[in-house]
Structure formats: structure tokens, C-alpha cells
Amino acid sequence: MTHWLFKSEPGVFGIDDLAARGVEPWDGVRNYQARNLLRDRTAGGDPVLFYHSNCARPAIVGLAEIASSPRPDPTAFDPDSPHHDPKGDPATPRWYLVDVRYRRHLARPITLAELKTHAEGALAGLPLVRRGNRLSVMPLSPAQFDFILALEHRPAP
């Protein structure tokens, strides 16, 4: 089992959207490294921390889980989709997705600023707390995942 952090812009698709839908395809991943992780390492039941990015207060806001095996992302072949890949070919798919199932909102958002205060300790090595290399899909160690979840029950800094 791999633990994950998936990033999404709340103005495009946020935790409230996932809560309303229950299960949703995680489509539109268009970075090769993130695609490889999604395609090669995800499995049904893997836990996911849901992170709101590119917003006033980036934060981990919810808990979800992988609800399917990876499969080709059909939005890559849809010319009307914002995720369309003009070079996409269904015979040799380049982009993949998984379904994600909502589990719950966190008791409170765990902000990027708060996570960074642990960058030299429990979250050392976590790409999210370093500049650059912030993929939309990233694996976490079980210890990192558990540490982050435990933060929701501490007072916000």
C-alpha cells in the first residue's frame, strides 16, 4: 500500500466537489513523472491526502482513497476537454487516471506554512515542503502520512 498526496485547485475541483460526488476520476494529470506514479504505483484502497493548491491558503483539507486501478485518461482524446492532448492516441495511451473516493474533510486545514515548520523534522524529504518539484501526485511514507493526519487534532499555529 502506498500513501499519497493529490493536489487540486479548489476553484477547479476541490474537496467539496469530491464530497458531493463521492467518487470521481482524477483526470488531467499531464506531467510524466506524476503520470508514472499514478499509472505504476497506485492501487485500490491506497489512502490519499487531498491538498488545495494555487489558492490564497494552500492546505491539506481532506482524506480520500484510490477507488480503482489506473486506466487511460479519456479526456486526453476529447478535443472539447481542457485536458485534450492533440498527440493522444487511444491505441497507445499516454495519460492515465484513477478514481478517487471521498472519505472526509479534515477537522481543520493543515496549511503549507504549517507543514513547512516540520521540514527539518518529521517531514524532511517531503517534496511539498521544498521549492520546486511539487508534483500534483506524490507518494508519502506511512510515517509522513500519519504525522500529517495527527496535525489536524493539534491547535493551528
Helix residue ranges per DSSP H, the chain: 15-21, 32-41, 112-116, 142-151
Whether residue 68 is predicted with pLDDT greater than 80 in this model: the reply is: yes
pLDDT, position 15: 99
Cell of 52: 488545495
pLDDT, position 25: 98
pLDDT, position 133: 65
pLDDT band at 142 (very low <50, low <70, confident <90, very high): very high
pLDDT, position 40: 98
Nearest to 139, CA basis, from 32, 37, 66, 70: 37
Q: How far apart are CA 18 and CA 89, in angstroms?
A: 29
CB of 85 within 8 A of CB of 30?
yes
What percent of the chain is modeled with pLDDT above 70? 99
pLDDT, position 134: 75
pLDDT, one tens digit per residue, over 32-43 is 999 999 999 999
CB atoms within 10 A of CB 131: 6
Any idea which residue has 504549517 for its cell? 114
**Which of 44-48, 72-76, 126-130 is predicted with the least confidence, judged by mean pLDDT?**
126-130
CB of 115 within 8 A of CB of 134?
no
Domain range annotation of the chain:
3-144
CATH number of 3-144: 3.10.590.10
CB atoms within 10 A of CB 15: 23
Residues whose CB is less than 8 angstroms from the CB of residue 120 and which lie 6 or more positions away in sequence, other chains included = none
Average pLDDT, the chain: 96
Mean pLDDT, residues 136-140 taken together: 96
pLDDT, one tens digit per residue, over 106-117 is 999 999 999 999
Total-model pTM: 0.95
